[in-house]
Amino acid sequence: FFYFPETHGISFRIQISVKELLDTDVLLKLLFHLPVNYPSTLPDISVNSDQLTRAQCMDVKEKLLEQAKKHPSEPMVHDLILWVQQHLKDVIEQSTTVCNEKTALSKGTEDGIWMLLLHLDHMRAKAKYVKTLEKWTSNLRLTGRLMFMGKIILILLQGDRSSIKEYLILQKTSKVDVDSSGKKCKEKMMRVLCETEVQSQHKRFQTFEVKEYSAPEELQKEFETAGLTTLFSEFVTPLLK
């Protein structure tokens, strides 16, 4: 979408999907801010992607800015988008090589520690449902929070990537709740809001706890304490509206 801050130039977001390593698609969210005297002044660029680490996004941004400098005084956004589609794989591979030495030390398992944020629409058989989730998280050694705030139900989990994937299968295929007539039923109203690798600024949860919050501010504080302010503003704030 476009928005025009008066006299500050133009900002617009572009989402592109790039075929990536292992043939999975990487969805890149690019935000370009073109100053008033663009193209004689370079654009500001920000890069986000759920499939990439923050460090990889920063590397992609740096490489895009390097490319931008090669187009002095000529419109370049289209060229930059084409460039990132062609070169994303190389940038990530370089970025990964540099990161591997650091992450090899911090990874307990081959896949690292991942985080999952889920949104549930409702729980009819709440006590039974909660008990089931506590059992699964315990068996899979996942930590985090089951959070209730008004009608909002969120599940935030951290653990090995393989355990997170196993949890998602259980959540989708097991009869965890009851329908309106009291029959056991599967969870059909679940949304995965975010699935990402845990970064150094994220606090690790030591246990899995069930918590009730009486106001959005309390919920926000829980996320902020865990170093997850961005996660809250991006995925939870829209649910509160």
Spatial CB neighbours of 184, under 8 Å, sequence gap ≥ 6: 175, 177, 178
- CATH number for the domain that contains residue 83: 3.10.110.10
Average pLDDT over residues 88-117: 63
Domain that holds residue 203: 113-239
Report the b/e string of 117-129 with b at 16+ CB within 10 A.
Answer: bbbbeebebeeeb
Asked if residue 71 and residue 26 are part of one domain, the reply reads: yes
**First-to-last C-alpha distance (Å) of the chain:** 21
pLDDT of res. 98: 53
pLDDT band at 108 (very low <50, low <70, confident <90, very high): very low
Give the pTM: 0.55
Say if 5 falls within a structural domain.
no
Q: 88's torsion region: left (phi>0), alpha (psi -120 to 50) or beta?
A: alpha
Asked if residue 234 and residue 122 are part of one domain, the reply reads: yes
Average pLDDT over residues 105-124: 73
User: Phi and psi dihedrals of 187, rounded to 5?
Assistant: -80, 110
Give per-residue pLDDT as tens, 187-210: 887 888 888 888 877 888 999 999
Give per-residue pLDDT as tens, 125-154: 899 999 999 999 999 999 999 999 999 999
Domain limit, last residue, from 97, 129, 158: 97
- CATH number for the domain that contains residue 148: 3.30.70.100
